[in-house]
Amino acid sequence: MKNIFAMSAVLAPVVAFAGLYGDTPDAKHAWAVHDMNRPKPAKVEVGANGVPSDAVVLFDGTKASFEKNWRDDKGNPSKWSYSDEGYFYTVPNWKNGGAIFSRNEFGDCQLHLEYRHDPEQIFTNKGPQMRGNSGVFLMNNYEIQVLESYWTSRELEGKPEFVDNYADGQAGSVYAENPPMVNPARKPGEWQVYDIVFHQPVWKDGRLLHPGSVTVFFNGVLVQDHWEMEGLTTHCRRRPLAPHATKGPLQLQDHGCVVQFRNIWYRPLPSRWDNLTHSNLSACPDAVMALRRETAAKLFAKIADPKAATADNVKALAEVISYANEGEYKAAFDAALEAYRAKHGDKNEVNGVNNALDVLVRNKVIPESSKIK
């Protein structure tokens, strides 16, 4: 079997990814499939600390970072406490002046944070929801629960330390909506890690287009898989989704318990619903066509002599009309194609031209009769 694969690799044709190749742009896609003209992604470096270079760091372990980036609900410095060990924390019995909020406001994001419960400071006599309770409130509206949940694991039921709790209130839950799929919580005293991908609900003219979603990795384990929000965070009663500002602070809840936090950063994410030029969901045909014409103009400007009756010229103009088969682009292509048809090159050269034309034919940009016989 190994020899067959090796032979296949040797015999496989080498494809030059240039010019016409994949399906052409259409009414909802300004770029072709495998389009070499499409802008390349920005390069992101990940530091030794695991923080991407395009991340916004909300807390890096320093007191300066804590004081600069966090506030109370009135915009004043937070009454939460800072530790020289590189974390900040709540103190018991609601003595922190309430929740803490990031000064930065943002919407769709990738969020990373870590939290820990001191085993010596976990309430054991105030009910299961007072065992290190806090919450990560995205945009101040959508809560991923923080709680000491190692001892709520079903597998520990019957052991002396076991604490019963409702499933949609455990760590990793979308609070009051959806329990985590599994419970990967570590023991108290160990750092717990959340990596969250959040997309807010999308509204247009008062109509809900998409409820938004949240994906949560808890200690590296997927516990919320693109969960679509059913409402704003609530307790006991369901609370329907409603329009709100498209940016909001990150809130960490003060629930009267001791919880420590460190290593908090986020990356703003573009909403797919804001993509007007390349999306089945959200594309605006006018915006798509404007970008297609812009690309066609750039490609046309690179052609030294649009009238040249050469194979390379025909293929270059074929690429231009794949974006905008109109006006001077169409006229130049038609003229160059007819001139080349009258005096074309050898069989291999003609095959190369027809390969380009085949892409246009299968995408109904030009008729089959346009190909060189």
Q: Is it the case that residue 330 has pLDDT exceeding 60?
A: yes
Say what percent of the chain tops pLDDT 70. Answer: 95
pLDDT value of residue 124: 80
pLDDT value of residue 130: 87
pLDDT value of residue 93: 83
Tokens of 274: 């804001």
pLDDT in tens, 240-263: 999 999 999 999 999 999 999 999
Residue 95's pLDDT band, with cuts at 50, 70 and 90, is confident
Report d(CA 145, CA 133) in Å as an integer: 8
Residue 60's pLDDT band, with cuts at 50, 70 and 90, is very high
Q: Is it the case that residue 102 has pLDDT exceeding 50?
A: yes
Report d(CA 274, CA 128) in Å as an integer: 42
141, 251 contact by CB (below 8 A): no
Superfamily of domain 56-274: Exo-inulinase; domain 1 (2.60.120.560)
The pLDDT of 198-222, averaged and rounded, is: 97
The pLDDT of 73-91, averaged and rounded, is: 95
With a CB cutoff of 8 Å and minimum separation 6, the contacts of 1 are none
- What residue spans define the domains of the chain? 56-274, 276-373
Residue 200's pLDDT band, with cuts at 50, 70 and 90, is very high
Pick the residue with more confidence: 93 or 312?
A: 312
Q: Is it the case that residue 44 has pLDDT exceeding 60?
A: yes
pLDDT value of residue 18: 57
pLDDT value of residue 201: 98
pLDDT value of residue 13: 42
pLDDT in tens, 178-187: 999 999 999 9
Q: Is it the case that residue 12 has pLDDT exceeding 70?
A: no
Tokens of 161: 């330390």
- Mean pLDDT is lowest, of 81-95, 150-164, 214-228, for 150-164
End-to-end alpha-carbon separation of the chain, Å? 41
The pLDDT of 352-372, averaged and rounded, is: 97
10 Å CB burial of residue 195 (0-12, 13-18, 19+) is middle
With a CB cutoff of 8 Å and minimum separation 6, the contacts of 166 are 128
Report d(CA 90, CA 70) in Å as an integer: 13
The pLDDT of 226-232, averaged and rounded, is: 97
CA dihedral 221, 226, 227, 233 (to 10 degrees): 90
Q: Is it the case that residue 15 has pLDDT exceeding 50?
A: no
